[in-house]
């Protein structure tokens, strides 16, 4: 029934030769296991055909009689029992090979897709539906795995059983065999129609379930749950969810009835065919033209003939469904990461702390360059080439300097900071760290050299210790406490019942914004980078939290090169150099006093923004 529940469109999909070759490449490490697997399936199918023939021999021996008839019946019964034991053993061996091949393929596919997705640019994640991406790692990977387990075993087993069963039945009585097969259209044609109806309602069920999953993911998150409560719509949310759940319930009832009709039809046709065999075969046996044992064998073989024929009538849907899953997995793997390490990449020297931009131009990639329509749930991707975000940006940050980036929203401040850590690559020009172009550096050395604290510090739903050790996996507890002390948050953690083993909750929501920022700063201190990037790290904090975070930042910036996206007067006053960005270009540069004296955009920003958001000074960093 699983094969019938796949969309009719799957039946018409065509898989290219390249996809087929890639599928075989995935199967290559398991070719020995697949060979043994198929051999076991063939052996099991042969036993399934031999057993009814032996049952006919038992009846034949009984009706023939004779002095040794009793002993012969016992020997045949023991042989049948032996085959049953062997069949049970083979089923265990078959299951082991199936699990070994299937789980191995799932591991290979999942790890490849996960590793590949990890290397995609941030813009890929901002455009992609998380649920659709997770589905590739779960549903499609499992569908691909079925191509080598249930689909492969089902096709081989059913073909062998069908050929052997039909051959044996024809040798026993070709007249009864052909007459029995005439009843097949009574079953197959309605079964295929029911299958298509099942496909339609099952597709609707999948879509509704996907929408319910998306709804639950959003509403059960802390931010979503808070929004629902703040706007007072829990009853409306429940009503909307209830409608979808009710439709899924109704589809479940329909699906159950369709399945029961299918099963009842199969049993009815099989019973009619068996009655035909007993009736016609019995008449032949009474007339002496057919042995009674052959009648029994024919009836038992007929029962095992209908299953393979029915399964093979829908095999194209089954096979294509598995291959389409492979195709969807390959679709993700074929999306080239925007950031890739060169084969001859060099390591940035430890402690390097000079940052230099040379005539940097940058535009964000179009959707067609970094995304998939199927992951965005759109018909076609936008191919519009975006306007440049940065235009000819040039500056240098010397070791130990603090350089502040200021400017109106959309000026290119965050984009500039992301080019240093190579979240994106420049369109033209170059960004160097320690005199090495970041595109020519190893990603590991670049990550070790640069530490970043954003305005919305993210914490995983794990313990405080695990979140901190994300920066330094082998850090001792003493090192963790030292980092927390430097971030002015150790006293808060020590007061918790579980201390470092406290689970922070989803996105760290068990802590206040200021506490999350200080934990993030502790993580930065543990990493001990030579270059620090602060992306408006105190933008959304109250004055008390900001004071604590600024004190922690003083420790984090001591002795390090810093590139800070500033919106506080204290930060820009402490800067060795201020870069004023507007429209993707540096329109002014200098110290706070120099820029105020020069007038222009910085002076305007000072009057409208910095002067009214003063905070504790970082001048003594």
Say if 201 falls within a structural domain: yes
Tell me the pLDDT tens digit for each residue of 341-392.
Answer: 889 999 999 888 899 999 999 998 887 777 777 777 676 777 777 789 999 9
Regarding predicted confidence, which is higher, 250 or 543? 250
Residue 44 has phi, psi (to 5 degrees) of: -65, -40
Alpha-carbon dihedral sign for residues 284, 285, 289, 290: positive
Residue 98 has pLDDT above 50, yes or no: yes
Residue 528 has phi, psi (to 5 degrees) of: 55, 60
Q: What is the mean pLDDT of residues 92-113?
A: 86
Is there a contact between 583 and 393 (Cβ–Cβ < 8 Å)? Answer: no
Tell me the pLDDT tens digit for each residue of 209-253.
Answer: 766 776 776 677 666 776 676 666 677 778 888 888 888 888 888
Find which of 199-208, 335-344, 506-515 is predicted with most confidence, using mean pLDDT. Answer: 335-344
% of the chain with per-residue pLDDT over 90 = 17
How buried is 544 (Cβ within 10 angstroms: 0-12 exposed, 13-18 middle, 19+ buried)?
exposed
176 and 320 fall within a common domain: yes
Is there a contact between 76 and 112 (Cβ–Cβ < 8 Å)? Answer: no
Is there a contact between 562 and 400 (Cβ–Cβ < 8 Å)? Answer: no
Residue 619 has pLDDT above 50, yes or no: no
Q: Is 288 left (phi over 0), alpha (psi -120 to 50) or beta?
A: left
453 and 555 fall within a common domain: yes
Give 67's pLDDT tier (boundaries 50, 70, 90).
Answer: confident
Give 44's pLDDT tier (boundaries 50, 70, 90).
Answer: confident
Tell me the pLDDT tens digit for each residue of 144-199.
Answer: 777 667 777 777 778 888 888 888 888 888 888 787 777 667 666 666 666 666 65
Q: What is the spatial distance between Cα 550 and Cα 621, in angstroms, rounded to a whole number?
A: 10
Residue 311 has pLDDT above 80, yes or no: no
Number of H helices, E strands in the chain: 26, 10
Alpha-carbon dihedral sign for residues 479, 456, 514, 222: negative
Q: What is the spatial distance between Cα 524 and Cα 522, in angstroms, rounded to a whole number?
A: 5
pTM, rounded to two decimals: 0.69
Q: Domain containing 460 — which CATH number?
A: 3.40.50.300
Residues facing 432 on adjacent strands: 356, 437
Sheet order of strands, 561-565 included: 450-454, 531-535, 561-565, 402-406, 577-582, 585-590
Q: Domain containing 194 — which CATH number?
A: 1.20.1560.10
Q: What is the spatial distance between Cα 362 and Cα 394, in angstroms, rounded to a whole number?
A: 12
Say if 497 falls within a structural domain: yes
Other CB atoms closer than 10 Å to residue 257's CB: what's the count? 11
Give the CA distances from residue 561 to residues 58, 138, 433, 576, in Å, rounded to whole numbers and listed in that order: 91, 43, 11, 11
Say if 375 falls within a structural domain: no
115 and 221 fall within a common domain: yes
110 and 256 fall within a common domain: yes
Last residue of a domain, one of 333, 355, 376: 333
Residue 143 has pLDDT above 80, yes or no: no
Spatial CB neighbours of 24, under 8 Å, sequence gap ≥ 6: none
Residue 543 has pLDDT above 70, yes or no: no
Say if 500 falls within a structural domain: yes
Last residue of a domain, one of 310, 333, 356: 333
CA 245, 246, 247: angle at the middle one, nearest 5?
Answer: 90
Last residue of a domain, one of 313, 333, 353: 333
Is there a contact between 359 and 139 (Cβ–Cβ < 8 Å)? Answer: no
404 and 275 fall within a common domain: no
Is there a contact between 406 and 601 (Cβ–Cβ < 8 Å)? Answer: no
Quick one: pLDDT at residue 478?
A: 92
Residue 5 has pLDDT above 60, yes or no: no
The first and second tokens of residue 300, run together, are: 């038992």
Task: For residue 587, give the 3-state DSSP assignment.
Answer: strand
Say if 373 falls within a structural domain: no
Say if 77 falls within a structural domain: yes
203 and 93 fall within a common domain: yes
Quick one: pLDDT at residue 150?
A: 73
Give 300's pLDDT tier (boundaries 50, 70, 90).
Answer: confident
Quick one: pLDDT at residue 301?
A: 81
Residue 12 has pLDDT above 70, yes or no: no
Is there a contact between 457 and 519 (Cβ–Cβ < 8 Å)? Answer: yes
413 and 311 fall within a common domain: no
Domain region containing 30? 3-333
Residues facing 312 on adjacent strands: none
* Among the ranges given (7-21, 41-55, 83-97), the one the predictor scored with the smallest mean pLDDT: 7-21
DSSP state of 439: G
Q: What is the mean pLDDT of residues 272-286?
A: 80
Q: Mean pLDDT, the chain, as a whole number?
A: 80
Buried b (16+ CB within 10 A) or exposed e, 500-516: beeebeebbbbbbbbbb
State how many domains the chain has. Answer: 2
Say if 379 falls within a structural domain: no
73 and 184 fall within a common domain: yes
Tell me the pLDDT tens digit for each residue of 396-444.
Answer: 999 989 999 998 888 888 899 889 988 889 999 999 999 999 999 998 8
Spatial CB neighbours of 546, under 8 Å, sequence gap ≥ 6: 514, 538, 568, 615, 616
323 and 411 fall within a common domain: no
Give the CA distances from residue 486 to residues 171, 514, 542, in Å, rounded to whole numbers and listed in that order: 88, 15, 21
Q: What is the mean pLDDT of residues 49-61?
A: 83
% of the chain with per-residue pLDDT over 70 = 82
123 and 44 fall within a common domain: yes
Quick one: pLDDT at residue 480?
A: 92
Other CB atoms closer than 10 Å to residue 194's CB: what's the count? 18
Say if 160 falls within a structural domain: yes
409 and 307 fall within a common domain: no
165 and 37 fall within a common domain: yes
């Amino acid at each position: 029934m699983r094969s019938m529940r796949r969309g009719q469109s799957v039946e018409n999909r065509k898989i290219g030769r390249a996809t087929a070759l890639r599928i075989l490449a995935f199967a290559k490490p398991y070719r020995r296991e697949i060979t043994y697997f198929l051999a076991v399936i063939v052996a099991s199918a042969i036993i399934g055909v031999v057993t009814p023939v032996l049952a006919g021999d038992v009846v034949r021996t009984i009706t023939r009689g004779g002095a040794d008839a009793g002993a012969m019946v016992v020997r045949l019964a023991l042989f049948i029992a032996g085959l049953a034991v062997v069949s049970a053993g083979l089923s265990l061996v078959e299951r082991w090979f199936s699990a070994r091949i299937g789980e191995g393929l799932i591991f290979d596919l999942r790890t490849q897709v996960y590793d590949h997705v990890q290397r995609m640019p941030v813009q890929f994640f901002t455009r992609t539906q998380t649920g659709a991406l997770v589905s590739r790692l779960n549903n499609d990977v499992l569908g691909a795995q079925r191509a080598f387990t249930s689909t492969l075993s089902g096709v081989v087993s059913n073909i062998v059983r069908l050929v052997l069963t039909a051959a044996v039945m024809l040798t026993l009585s070709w007249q009864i065999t052909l007459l029995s097969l005439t009843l097949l259209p009574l079953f197959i044609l309605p079964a295929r129609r029911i299958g298509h109806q099942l496909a339609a309602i099952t597709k609707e069920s999948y879509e509704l379930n996907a929408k319910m999953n998306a709804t639950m993911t959003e509403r059960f998150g802390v931010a979503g749950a808070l929004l629902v409560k703040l706007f007072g719509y829990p009853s409306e949310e429940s009503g909307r969810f209830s409608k979808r759940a009710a439709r899924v319930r109704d589809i479940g009832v329909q699906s159950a009835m369709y399945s029961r009709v299918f099963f009842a039809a199969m049993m009815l046709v099989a019973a009619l065919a068996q009655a035909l065999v007993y009736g016609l075969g019995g008449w032949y046996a009474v007339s002496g033209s057919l042995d009674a044992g052959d009648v029994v064998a024919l009836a038992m073989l007929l029962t095992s003939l209908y299953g393979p024929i029915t399964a093979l009538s829908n095999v194209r849907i089954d096979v294509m469904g598995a291959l389409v899953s492979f195709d969807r997995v390959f679709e993700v793997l074929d999306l080239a990461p925007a950031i890739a390490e060169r084969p001859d990449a060099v390591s940035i020297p430890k402690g390097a702390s000079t940052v230099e931009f040379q005539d940097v131009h940058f535009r964000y990639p179009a959707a067609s360059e970094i995304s998939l329509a199927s992951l965005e749930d759109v018909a076609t991707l936008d191919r519009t080439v975006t306007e440049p975000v940065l235009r000819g940006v040039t500056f240098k940050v010397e070791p130990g300097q603090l350089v502040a980036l200021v400017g109106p929203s959309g000026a290119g401040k965050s984009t500039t900071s992301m080019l240093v850590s190579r979240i994106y690559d420049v369109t033209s020009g170059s960004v160097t760290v320690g005199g090495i172009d970041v595109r020519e550096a190893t990603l590991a050395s670049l990550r070790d050299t640069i530490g970043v604290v954003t305005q919305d510090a993210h914490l995983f739903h794990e313990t405080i210790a695990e979140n901190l050790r994300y920066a330094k996996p082998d850090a001792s507890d003493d090192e963790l406490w030292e980092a927390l002390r430097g971030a002015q948050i150790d006293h808060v953690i020590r007061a918790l019942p579980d201390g470092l083993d406290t689970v922070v909750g989803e996105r760290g929501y068990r802590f206040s914004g200021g506490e999350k920022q200080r934990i993030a700063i502790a993580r930065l201190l543990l990493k001990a980078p030579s270059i620090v990037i602060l992306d408006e790290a105190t933008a959304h904090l109250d004055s008390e939290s900001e004071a604590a975070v600024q004190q922690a930042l003083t420790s984090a910036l001591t002795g390090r090169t810093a590139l800070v996206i500033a919106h506080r007067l204290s930060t820009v006053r402490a800067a060795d150099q201020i870069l004023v960005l507007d429209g993707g270009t540096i329109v002014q540069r200098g110290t706070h006093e120099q820029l105020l004296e020069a007038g222009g955009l910085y002076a305007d920003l000072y009057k409208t923004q910095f002067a009214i958001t003063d905070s504790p000074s970082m001048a003594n960093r």
